[in-house]
Amino acid sequence: MIPMTAEYALRAIVWLASHSEQTQTSEQIATATQVPPRYLYKVLQSLAQAELIHSQPGPRGGYSLARSADQICLLDVINTVAPIARITSCPLSIKSHATELCPLHGELDKAYRQIENAFKKVTIAQLVNRPLSVTSFCETTTGKTDET
């Protein structure tokens, strides 16, 4: 399971990609994605610092993708807000494991590497353009989908 921060960031990016015709305010994004507004603001700041989104201040301001949705993969978003922690050295600081991970930690890191590779292969555009019978990734608080 990925951390909620990564889930929130992915919801925001997908929303922005599916509404790329105009900038979206943080309030619009928060309502549509059901992310707490104060938490979303911090997530949006991180995404802007990583240059995944643009932040335009002012009365007509808002947020938009900084690059095409087909140039942003899930791993880009996740690593911006909650990087997957790979195991590069013994978490127990056992000296005999200094040059090679033990079988347990080696297998755990192998799984983390596979997760990273899977997230690297999926772009935001693929999510937005996927032809499915379910078109919304979440419902707004009014009970309507983001498509209505």
Query: Which domain range does residue 85 map to?
Result: 4-129
- How far from 106 is each of 1, 13, 31, 97, 113, CA to CA, in Å? 19, 33, 42, 11, 10
DSSP string, the chain: ---HHHHHHHHHHHHHHHTTTS-B-HHHHHHHHT--HHHHHHHHHHHHHTTSEEEE-STT-EEEESS-GGG-BHHHHHHHHS------S-TT--GGGSSS--HHHHHHHHHHHHHHHHHHT-BHHHHHH---S---SSB-TTS-BTT-
Domain total of the chain: 1
Is 143 inside a domain boundary?
no
How high is the pLDDT of residue 137?
57
Which is nearest to 11 in space by CA: 28, 42, 34, 27?
34
pLDDT tens sequence across 68-93: 999 999 999 999 999 998 888 878 87
pLDDT tens sequence across 45-70: 999 999 999 999 877 789 999 999 99
Q: What is the pTM assigned to this prediction?
A: 0.83
Is 137 inside a domain boundary?
no
Is 102 inside a domain boundary?
yes
Rounded Cα gap, residues 84 and 129, in angstroms: 26
Which CATH number is 12's domain given? 1.10.10.10
How high is the pLDDT of residue 48?
97
Is 140 inside a domain boundary?
no
How high is the pLDDT of residue 91?
80
Is 138 inside a domain boundary?
no
Is 57 inside a domain boundary?
yes
pLDDT tens sequence across 92-145: 877 777 778 888 889 999 999 999 999 999 999 999 988 765 555 555 444 444
